[in-house]
Chains A and B, each alone.
Chain A
Amino acid sequence: MRVAGVYLDWAASAPLATGSPLAAGAGNPASTHRPGRELARQMEAARRSVAAAVRRPAEQIAFTSGATEANNIATLSLLTGLRTDAPGSFRRGLVHSAVEHPSVAEPGRMLARIGLPVAVAAVDADGRLDLDHFAECLDEHTRLAAVMAVNNETGAVQPVAEACAIVRAHATRIGRPIRFHADAVQELGKVTLSPLADVDSLAISGHKLGAPRGVGALIAKPGMEVLATGGGQEAGMRPGTENVDGIVALGARAETIAADANGAAQTDEWAAVRELSDQLIAGAIERGLRVVPETRLDHPYHYSPFIVMLSIPGLPADVLVRVMSDAGVYLSRGSACGAARSKLSPVLVAMSVAAEVAQGAFRVSFGATTRAEEITTFFHALDAAQAQLAPSLSAGRR
């Protein structure tokens, strides 16, 4: 299914894949009767497809409403060990990167409010985790570490394997297990998952892969306790009747990804999208736009080619996004409107991006079917937008 106009906001949501299936039949997959069993069978088939795509056993896949829920389940799992009569139980620490999605950062703030030790590991100006600082953040209380695989705003590929190795070594030193969680939303189906082989849990989202909105999965090695309880669905990891239609569609998308066993198609797609992002970045520089972060130009392979953040310093990104939208080109802004530092993207603030650049930061993101002509159209629209908006940028009388 294509979006009318030039859709360059795939990191927000991918268009629904053509021929996306629905579950066959009515009923509840927990029911004992035949229709119920049939739904359960379809759901388990989808589970096996997702398992193959992420290269994990099917038992580790718990379907959720999306990655936000999966990240929340993983992060808030720390709460399950708290006991008011045992103050020591509150020393269960979380360490996460400064560029996590709000579905990790906000639960992190909640844990900190409750009194758990939460440390935020800095990123460098390139938007990638500062591994030295990350190691410093770990202490004897750390029980969970969370580092996203690919940043959803800048496309920065995080050194997850290295961070995970640091955590493993630290766990050995303190003699306690530490779980490592990775938000893999912008990675699955786009970047090879091999660096994530050792992590304990992963969050994925269906609608970033062409499945419908409202489905995702938490993939977790055994031993994660969860806060929400209920009917025991999804092996107790995510209670509530499953979104079988979404799950079946997600299974179909996962099957496509899993079929690419040696990653050949992915490599081809990566190369094709790399060309698009190169074309975009070159055109942007030609027009005096800023690439965020600028270090991307020196280390292009530290960034997913599917996501490019650009900026017109001084032009609030939401204004540009509106004008581009009127021209039929769909983008995301990087920060909320307003000059206040508090309204800038926390990701860009963590990277110490100058306020003016952060204010003007917008995201262009690609999918499998994005074509070079769409980049050309993007630039035509951008030129027109800049001409239209120029009067608002010129300074008045001094």
Chain B
Amino acid sequence: MLFLIKYGEISLKGRNRAKFEHRLMDNIVRRLPAGAARARRTWGRLYVEADDQHAAAAERIIGNTFGVVAFARVRTYDKSTTALDRIADEMVAELPPGSFKVEARREDKSFALTSYQIACELGDRLVRAGQSKLTVDVGAPDTTLSVEVRDRIYAYTDARRGPSGLPVGVSGRGMLLLSGGIDSPVAGYLVAGRGLAIDAVYFHSYPYTGEEAEQKVHQLAAHLARYMPRLDLHVVPFTPLQLLIKQRSHPDEVTLLMRACMMEVAQLVALRRDCGCLVTGESLGQVASQTLESLRVTGSHSTLPVLRPLIGLSKEEIISRARAIGTFETSILPYPDCCALFAPRHPVIRPRFERLEQSFARLEAASLIGEAADEAHHHRVTPAWVESAAAVATAASVAG
């Protein structure tokens, strides 16, 4: 099965274009079993040829690959004079009864017919072959048959939209602070759509949070992994730091100091994984630790840039995005990622920076921060495809 892929934004990127195109092809092909698909680029399009056994998996992967603006299953024809007859013969069966139009595009100007002529000639043949089941409507057709004359002639009906954006990896790599909540998976999705490859870090405080909470994060990561060629999850044992903070700090500052420690641990793990930034799900003013003053405190604990793609989104907007990418239902499972024991009743909302820095210094947490990063448990995440057996096979091969 051959897929034609249109890509948008990356064609704007001048000298980097070839690099971006290769990344896009690679992001599709490497998620399928070795040898199951080949990709090539020519004349402003990408083509992925997948063997029949993996066609469904390839289609699903293409539809979830950032950089893909639209894609379709296509048939190809030689650029001979009889091509239109053969297209009509084959496509008449694919067009559902009703109205249609032909959209022709002639990139190869040496082809004998103009775009307009192709549309007219092919439309005429199809109406005749369709035996009154097919009518032409160029205004609002039920189906559009696209014909593109390039190195060969490509014909397809139902083109579908991809997620657009930039191919994952072209913008470098970032470390996502992934909790069990609604926000952080959405943050990861958004930056992946800007071409950032992602590792995720989760802070686990067993026995204060349960195995269910960690399982939930694995599930969220598996949802997120559908949109990227690879996702690695680092589970950091956070209990020693959590206890240290509890013992050495004022209860009202516990959350903020905890987040400061998380940033430091995340940065250590990030640097080892060659990440150029941290990514968080913070949204301005959403909770006490996300006020401007609090963000200054937590942000000062990373020398890497901290990307906060949700910073200007409302909770409603974040929820609607979480639903769209399929993480919402998992995020609202009732397994808290922070034990009530460590949640202050009156968290500080407008911390004084200098005061918090003193509090942080009093923790003397450096060695525990280093240990937490050293002991992070690394998992390669298997994407949570839900549809078919072929998908399971794909997921398994990716995990391998």
Contact = CB atoms under 8 A, between A and B. Distances in A.
Given A322-B207, A322-B210, A337-B336, A396 B250 contact: yes
Contact of A396 (B208, B251, B334, B336): B251
A359 interface: yes
| Contact residues of B: prevailing secondary structure | helix
Contacts of B254: 396
Interface string B223-258: 000000000000000000011011111110010000
A177 B246 CA distance: 60
Interface string B167-200: 0000000000000000000000000000000000
Given A337-B339, A339-B343, A392-B341, A397 B208 contact: no
Contacts of A389: 207
A33 interface: no
A398 interface: yes
B340 interface: yes
Interface residues of A, number: 22
Nearest to B362: A397
A319 B339 contact: yes
B210 A391 contact: no
Contacts of B334: 336
Given A395-B251, A396-B249, 19 more contacts: A315-B341, A316-B339, A316-B340, A316-B341, A319-B339, A319-B341, A322-B206, A322-B207, A322-B210, A337-B210, A337-B336, A338-B340, A359-B340, A391-B243, A391-B246, A392-B339, A392-B342, A394-B247, A397-B248
Interface string B207-223: 11010000000000000
Contacts of B340: 316, 337-339, 359
A83 to B, nearest CB: 38
B246 A318 contact: no
Contacts of A337: 210, 336, 339-340
Interface of A: 314-316, 318-319, 322-323, 326, 336-339, 359, 389, 391-398
Closest 10 A/B residue pairs (Cβ):
A322-B207, A339-B340, A391-B243, A323-B207, A396-B249, A397-B250, A392-B341, A316-B340, A319-B208, A319-B207
User: How many of chain B's residues touch chain A, expressed as a range?
Assistant: 20 to 34
A190 B247 CA distance: 46
B343 A396 contact: no
A392 B208 contact: yes
Nearest to A359: B340
Nearest to A396: B249
B210 A396 contact: no
Contacts of B341: 314-316, 319, 392-393
A396 B246 contact: yes
18 contacts: A315-B341, A316-B340, A316-B341, A319-B207, A319-B208, A319-B339, A319-B341, A322-B206, A337-B210, A337-B336, A337-B339, A339-B343, A392-B208, A392-B243, A392-B246, A396-B248, A396-B249, A397-B250
Nearest to B359: A397
B173 to A, nearest CB: 35
B109 to A, nearest CB: 68
A389 B343 CA distance: 16
Nearest to B340: A339
Contacts of B249: 396-397
Contacts, number: 54
Interface in B249-294: 249-251, 254
A394 B245 CA distance: 11
Contacts of A338: 336, 340
Interface in B328-370: 334, 336, 339-343, 362
A394 B246 CA distance: 8
Contacts of B342: 392
Contact of A391 (B247, B250, B339, B343): B247
Contacts of A314: 341
A79 B93 CA distance: 54
Nearest to B342: A392
Contacts of A396: 245-251, 254
B63 to A, nearest CB: 38
A326 B211 CA distance: 12
Of the candidates B242, B336, B342, the one having the most CB atoms from chain A within 10 angstroms of its own CB is B336
B335 to A, nearest CB: 8
Nearest to A388: B207
Contacts of A391: 243, 246-247
Most chain B CB atoms below 10 A, which of A336, A392, A395, A397? A392
Nearest to B250: A397
A326 B206 CA distance: 11
A322 B207 CA distance: 6
A337 B336 CA distance: 8
A77 to B, nearest CB: 31
A343 to B, nearest CB: 8
